[in-house]
Amino acid sequence: MNTHHLAKLYDTLTARERVPLIIAAGARGDQAEQKRLSASAPKETFQVPDYYALAKALDRAADYQMLTLLDLTANFWQWWGLWMTYGVRDPDTAGSKKGQRRKAKADQAEELRAEGIVRYYASRFVAHVDGWKQFCSERHIDPEVQLRFMPGWDTITRTEGPARELAFTPEEAARFARQTVAVDDSLERRPVADDPGQAGAGVVSPGSSAACAMPAPCAAFDDVRPRLSRSCGLPLEISWISSGTRGRHWVVVSGT
């Protein structure tokens, strides 16, 4: 759109007319138009106290802290609910005993994975809560005074107790960090190996674990294990952790 002729009238726009145009120009990436709209606006002069900038920054920081805690809270309770469902599922008695054992092993791996992700979000929640308290303490500010009037504060306070009970210890966190567990959709963005033998190449060492993507339907354990072992150069233990999406399955491989 050619707006050069219209720009001559920009100084007559009201604030309510100007702001939507600035937003629209930004949405389409037209920085030049944004600058014309901003520069042509009438100027107003205000006086503010010397602490205004600091107070404004603290307000923005409090808003960001609350949004971060609410995001972590939602993920924490979502994964907590998934974790709890594994304990109440009815056992599937259909199929062979070998198939039942394999399903039980897969369910156990899913349960352990969900538990780890719950504790991961619990640990992040606690870290943000404690970090905010330290930040405010250094500035002699009550850490709750800016948050307790915001929507969602009751949810945050109800979450803190369970989160502290489930948060990792430093040793547990270090052990979790050495394992590859899908805590978000990042694994889904990794390339999928067409050959299971390529999936684990260069990612597993003795005592470590990694997640690999397998095309679905993927090969049986006995077929996948030797090819992954050859690519990694060491014996492996393999367990399913997810049925996957978009035509793939995820497995955990651990070096022995």
Amino acid 226: pLDDT: 56
Amino acid 24: pLDDT: 94
Amino acid 157: pLDDT: 96
Which has more confidence, 243 or 41? 41
Q: Does the pLDDT at position 224 exceed 90?
A: no
pLDDT band of 110, cuts 50, 70, 90: confident
- Cβ(109)–Cβ(239) under 8 Å? yes
User: Could you give the percent of the chain with pLDDT greater than 70?
Assistant: 59
Rounded Cα–Cα distance for residues 216 and 105 (Å)? 19
Indicate the SS3 state at residue 216: coil
**pLDDT tens across 23-82, in order?**
999 999 999 999 999 999 999 999 999 999 999 999 999 999 999 999 999 999 999 998
Amino acid 188: pLDDT: 36
**pLDDT tens across 149-204, in order?**
999 999 999 999 999 999 998 888 877 777 644 444 443 333 333 344 444 333 44
Amino acid 5: pLDDT: 67
Q: Does the pLDDT at position 147 exceed 50?
A: yes
Indicate the SS3 state at residue 206: strand
Which has more confidence, 87 or 162? 162
Order of strands across the sheet that contains 209-215: 209-215, 248-255, 236-242
Sign of CA dihedral 193, 198, 204, 209: positive
pTM for this entry: 0.61
Which has more confidence, 108 or 99? 108
Q: What is the DSSP letter of 47?
A: -
User: Could you give the percent of the chain with pLDDT greater than 90?
Assistant: 46
Rounded Cα–Cα distance for residues 99 and 92 (Å)? 10
61-74: burial string, b at 16+ Cβ within 10 Å, e else: ebeebbeebbebbe
